[in-house]
């Protein structure tokens, strides 16, 4: 997530790491598949791909992708989340930083895939979204993919109403030089239809 009084910080106070991790641990123990996002991404990647998990939280997705053989870097502004990620996978690269200032974090561009799952885009600080999308796009190699998941109604967001529409998001991606390749209603690739409460979008940077 980002800082600068982003919506995530307003909701959690930046101290949600352990609680967030415990929630997914309970889901896993009850038999739920908690690796849907990682499986979705892995199906689009070649072996040993470079992946940036932007707003990585506790590292659940990045850790799974690393287990599948990819080189994953996680970035998050919430130190309580990164504390869990570093404990669970100390050998992976975890960067404490604000997504609105990605260009100041010293990340090497050329990622095969940049992921912003878990409502990262809707939880950005209001007004920062176009700049964040632009910086995420700049980190992709030619032909690289930006994959996002976001709620579009209150039932799929920790907010009373959605702050971002798909039309706005697609416009920001277009401004950043990205093209929509695919869109689904779930990480399981259920077809997206107008009015769905959730969208998983695959945008691509043009190949040179």
Residue 149: give its domain's CATH number: 3.40.50.150
Structural domain span for residue 131 = 7-204
At 35 the pLDDT is: 82
Classify residue 76: in a domain, yes or no: yes
pLDDT over threshold 60, residue 192: yes
Long-range CB contacts for residues 141-144, cutoff 8 Å, separation at least 24: 141/109, 141/110, 141/111, 141/112, 141/205, 142/205, 142/206, 142/207, 142/208, 143/204, 143/205, 143/206, 143/207, 143/208, 144/110, 144/111, 144/112, 144/113, 144/114, 144/204, 144/205
Q: Is residue 84 part of a domain?
A: yes
Over the stretch 13-66, which tens digit does the pLDDT of each residue have? 555 656 765 675 666 667 776 689 999 999 999 999 999 999 999 999 999 999
pLDDT at 174: 98
What's the domain count of the chain? Answer: 1
Could you tell me which residue, 78 or 94, shows the higher pLDDT?
94
What share of the chain in percent tops pLDDT 70? Answer: 86
Higher pLDDT, 12 or 188: 188
pLDDT for 30 equals 72
Indicate whether 1 belongs to any domain. no
In a domain, 2, yes or no: no
Q: What are phi and psi of 95, to 5 degrees?
A: -120, 125
Is the model's pLDDT at 165 over the cut of 50?
A: yes
Q: What pLDDT digit, counting tens, does each position of 112-162 carry?
A: 999 999 899 999 999 999 999 999 999 999 999 999 999 999 999 988 899
What is the rounded CA–CA span in Å between residue 20 and residue 17? 5
The string of pLDDT tens digits covering residues 83-94 is 999 999 999 999
Average pLDDT of the residues in 195-201: 96
Say if 107 falls within a structural domain. yes
Tell me what percent of the residues of the chain surpass a pLDDT of 90.
78
pLDDT band at 5 (very low <50, low <70, confident <90, very high): very low
């Amino acid at each position: 997530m980002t800082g600068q009084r982003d919506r995530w910080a307003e909701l959690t106070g930046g101290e949600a790491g352990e609680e967030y991790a415990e929630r997914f641990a309970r889901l896993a123990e009850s038999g739920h598949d908690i690796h849907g996002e990682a499986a979705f991404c892995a199906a689009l990647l070649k072996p040993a791909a470079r992946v940036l998990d932007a707003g990585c939280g506790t590292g659940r997705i990045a850790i799974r992708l690393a287990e599948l053989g990819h080189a994953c870097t996680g970035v998050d502004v919430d130190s309580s989340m990164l504390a869990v990620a570093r404990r669970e996978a100390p050998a992976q690269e975890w960067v404490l930083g604000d997504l609105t200032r990605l260009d100041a974090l010293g990340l090497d561009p050329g990622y095969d895939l940049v992921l912003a799952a878990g409502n990262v885009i809707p939880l950005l600080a209001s007004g920062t979204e176009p700049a964040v999308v632009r910086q995420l796009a700049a980190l992709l190699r030619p032909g690289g993919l930006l994959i996002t998941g976001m709620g579009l109604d209150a039932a799929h967001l920790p907010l009373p109403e959605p702050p971002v529409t798909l039309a706005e998001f697609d416009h920001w991606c277009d401004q950043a030089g990205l093209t929509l390749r695919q869109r689904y209603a779930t990480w399981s690739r259920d077809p997206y239809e107008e009015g769905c409460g959730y969208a998983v979008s695959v945008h691509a940077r043009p190949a040179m």
